[in-house]
Every structure is written in C-alpha cells, then in structure tokens.
Amino acid sequence: MDEEFADFMRQCATRLHRVAYLLTADSGQAEELTQDALARTYAAWRRIRNDDAYAYARRVLVNLHTDWWRARRWRERLVAQVPERSGGTDVAVATAQRHALARALQGLTRRERAVIVHRYFLDLTEQQTARELGVSVGTVKSTASRALAKLRISPDLEPDSPTGLVVTEGSS
C-alpha cells in the first residue's frame, strides 16, 4: 500500500501543493494543508485507490481550507491599490502585468480566491466549483464576477486582447 501511495504522492503532491498555495497565499500554510489532505487521503486509501484519488485528495484539501476559513474567518477588508499606469503590449509589460495580477490575487477574500482557483486554475465548471465548495451555482457566479472585477478582468474579452488602461491622461 505504501509504495502505491508513494507513487500517488510523487504524481500529485506538488499539484496539490500549488492549489493549496493559491488558496492560502502562504507557503507554510500550503505545506500544512497539503500534508493534512494527504494524511486523510492515506487513511482512506483502500477505499479510494481505484477511483480518482487526486480528485478525492483535492476535495479534502479544499474542504480543509474551507474549514480553516470558517474557523478563523473574520471580515476580510478591501485593500487599496495604487492605480496602474497604462502600458504597451510588449512582452516585458505583459509579464509585469501578470506578476501584478498574481499579487492582486492576494487581495481577494478567501472565498473569491477559492472560486478563481477552481474556475481558472483547475478549469472546473461553475457547477463543479459549486459542488466542490458546497455553495450554490449562483454564489459561484456572483463571487467569480466580483473577483474578476476586483482583478479588473473582463470575462468577455478575447484571450489575446491587448492589455492596458482605457483611461488616459486628460480624458473624462
């Protein structure tokens, strides 16, 4: 059993850790969350080994994160952000903006981050996300919409639209 589980860990531990990091925005917490999820998966291994063990472990991880959030939650406050400067479309600017986006993710509430991670990192549907997070599809939609607005991302834009602000100096 241990060898089989060790194989599973080699394949999935880093994937789980990355999800945990995006959910917690903290490498220490991500490590702890990943280990706890794997321990629970290990305990259930005989039962789930022939199913989608990664999906099981990921669900455990997300549920644990939700429990942590509920156990420690207090109102998360909006944070301010220095206005972006308009930029061109070269690679350096695009990379800088993606890094800024990664930083902006830290400003989301835990639930918003969880929805973003499920929808756009794990590529789950709204229905799957709702099921995984134990909330309604409507909540997923509204939370995703709010989070995208905070990140200033339009879900309607074509993937390769140029980046940059619309407002320029002197306009109103």
* Binding residues for other proteins restricted to 14-73, rule: CB under 8 A: 14, 16-18, 21-22, 27, 30-31, 34-36, 38-40, 42-43, 67-68, 70-73
Residue 55 or 164 with smaller CB distance to other proteins:
164
Find the binding residues for other proteins in span 96-155 (CB under 8 A). Answer: 97-99, 101-102, 104-105, 107, 116-117, 120-121, 134-136, 139, 148-155
CB 103, min distance to other proteins, A: 9
Contact residue for other proteins among 13, 48, 55, 137 (CB under 8 A): 13
Question: Could you tell me which of 20, 23, 15, 18 has the C-alpha nearest to residue 112?
Answer: 23
SS3 category, 169: coil
Alpha carbon of residue 58 to chain centroid:
12
Window contacting other proteins (CB under 8 A); options: 46-54, 79-87, 124-132: 79-87
* Binding residues with other proteins: total (CB under 8 A): 78
Give the other-Cβ count within 10 Å of 16's Cβ.
22
- The DSSP letter of residue 50 is T
Cβ 22 vs Cβ 42: under 8 Å: no
Give the other-Cβ count within 10 Å of 37's Cβ.
26
